[in-house]
Amino acid sequence: MDFATIIGFVAGLGLIFIAIVSRVGIGGFMLSFMDLPSIAITLGGTFAATMVNYSFHELVSVFAIAKNVFTQKDEDAIGIIDTVVSLTKKARTQSVLAIEQDIKALSNPFLRHGFSLVLANIDVETIRTELETEIIFLQERHKLGQEIFMTMGTFAPAFGMLGTIMGLIMMLAKLEDQSAIAGGMAVALLTTLYGALMANLIFLPVSGKLKRKSEDEVLIKEIIIEGIISMKNGDIPSIIESKLKAYLPPKKRERKIIKK
């Protein structure tokens, strides 16, 4: 679980809820801040514009990607490096075939697939191309997700503003008395509020988090590729470890170079 995302959502919405309820009570909140037509215009308009902008297939894939912002990848780079190094050691001391069972038991599918290519005795260049192509498609899929949320983060305030102008026109066109203006304007402003809230608490930060998650996932996969290529090339385990640790921030590596 990515608690930062959840706490962010809960804290953001909670703050606004409390700020309103503490001044106008729960009744006032329901009466003045919950308005279904306003939600329909802001959210519906945003989705409609997004649907024109993308294909069904792309929109559906967004939901699959969006759930990533709530999950935390278990695998860390250090664990991956340890796995690669220990498997390499075993393959050298025994034989490549000796690690076949270990590979089948690996939980990371990309690592498992990479090693299976080594077992199948595919040449280095083909392995690299095959695995790097997978990263490229992963990046494009992730980038599409970020882009769609970014787009929704642009459309939401626009439709919020649009809803407010619609409300203002309706209010002004059938103007009766001063107090009606104020009440009508309160309703009209709701869509702007919804649009700003959706964009700034959901769409834009989710797009940002997807970008960060994508970078993390790609880094792990790049370490895996480097490790598998290095193993296939017959590098000794300590060299592999040193090569892979160069992908980590200096603090996370134990320096061993000088002691060597």
Query: Is 224 a binder of a copy of itself (CB under 8 A)?
Result: no
Q: Which of residues 14-43 bind a copy of itself (CB under 8 A)?
A: 15-16, 19-20, 22-24, 28, 31-33, 37, 40-41
Do residues 152 and 195 lie in contact, with contact meaning Cβ atoms separated by under 8 Å? Answer: no
Nearest CB to a copy of itself, comparing residues 93 and 109:
109
Residues 6+ apart with CB under 8 A from 249: none
For a copy of itself (CB under 8 A), the number of binding residues is 93
| C-alpha dist (Å) from residue 177 to 81, 171, 228, 246, 260 | 73, 10, 76, 72, 86
Residue 162: CB atoms within 10 A of its CB come to 17
Tell me the closest approach of the beta carbon of residue 75 to a copy of itself, in angstroms: 15
Q: Which of residues 108-167 bind a copy of itself (CB under 8 A)?
A: 116-117, 120, 122, 126, 129-130, 133-134, 137, 141, 151, 155, 158-159, 161-163, 165-166
Q: Which of residues 171-210 bind a copy of itself (CB under 8 A)?
A: 172-175, 179, 181-183, 185-186, 189-190, 192-193, 196-197, 199-202, 204-206, 208-209
Tell me the closest approach of the beta carbon of residue 111 to a copy of itself, in angstroms: 15
